[in-house]
Every structure is written in structure tokens, then in C-alpha cells.
Homo-oligomer: A and B are copies of this chain.
């Protein structure tokens, strides 16, 4: 699957649609115009660009449309993450982690969750081909 480039502003729209799909433009606009501090027409533009890019689909719903994602959140996050990893870290995932761990606030609980994840990863240590999905 080829993930098209999704701009920063468009990501806001996608995140809403992923969370609340099916969702109509009124909802999108009323929420995002506040969060992004921009006008309704602006958000309409983002929605339209996403339709054109094939990231969103729609169907009639009463007097207006209802939107749904055509790209999975997982896939978009993957694409975005790996381009970030490449751009900033030249692919050095270990470095990425240590920087984030250093810079970001993590609750005790989160730290423990991550430790568990790593423990698991180490145990199974699946070769690349076995990665799920």
C-alpha cells in the first residue's frame, strides 16, 4: 500500500476521523476550528485534499456527508514514523529511544509498561519476517 504524504494540518483531520468515524464535517469543523484555531473553510480544504489523496472516503448521511478513513491509522503512523526515524536519526532506532527516554516525562507506570514490552520483545525476539501483520 502506498501511503500518500499527509501534511501536519491534514493529520489533525485524520486523527479525528480515525477516532470517531463515521463522522460528518460539522463535527470535524467545530472541533478542529478551535483546536487548530482556523476557519471553517480552511478545514473544508483539508478534508477535500484528503479525499483527493484517497485518505478519506465518504457517504451521504442526511443532508451532508459522513467521512471514514481509507487508510489505516497503523499504516499511516508506520509510514510517518519511519520517515521521521530516517530523517532525524538516519535510522538509528536505539538513539531515538534513548533521546526520548531522556527528554520526555514518563510516569512510573509507563516506564514499567515499557519494560514489560522490552522484556517480551527480548524473549520472543522474532526475526523480521515473523513480524505480525
Query: Min CB distance, A20 to chain B, in Å?
Result: 14
The number of chain A residues with a CB under 8 A from chain B is 42
Q: Cβ of B97 and Cβ of A15 under 8 Å apart?
A: no
Report Cα–Cα, A15/B90, bound state, in Å. 9
A105 and B83 CA atoms in complex are apart in Å by 15
Given A93-B104, A103-B78, A98 contacting B121 (CB threshold 8 A): no
In the complex, the 4 A-B pairs of residues with the closest C-beta atoms, listed nearest first: A94-B110, A93-B104, A101-B117, A111-B122
A-B contact pairs, 30 of them (CB 8 A): A8-B83, A8-B87, A11-B87, A11-B88, A15-B90, A78-B99, A78-B103, A80-B84, A80-B87, A81-B88, A81-B103, A84-B88, A85-B104, A93-B100, A93-B105, A93-B106, A94-B113, A97-B97, A98-B114, A101-B117, A101-B121, A102-B117, A103-B131, A108-B125, A111-B122, A112-B122, A114-B118, A115-B115, A115-B119, A118-B118
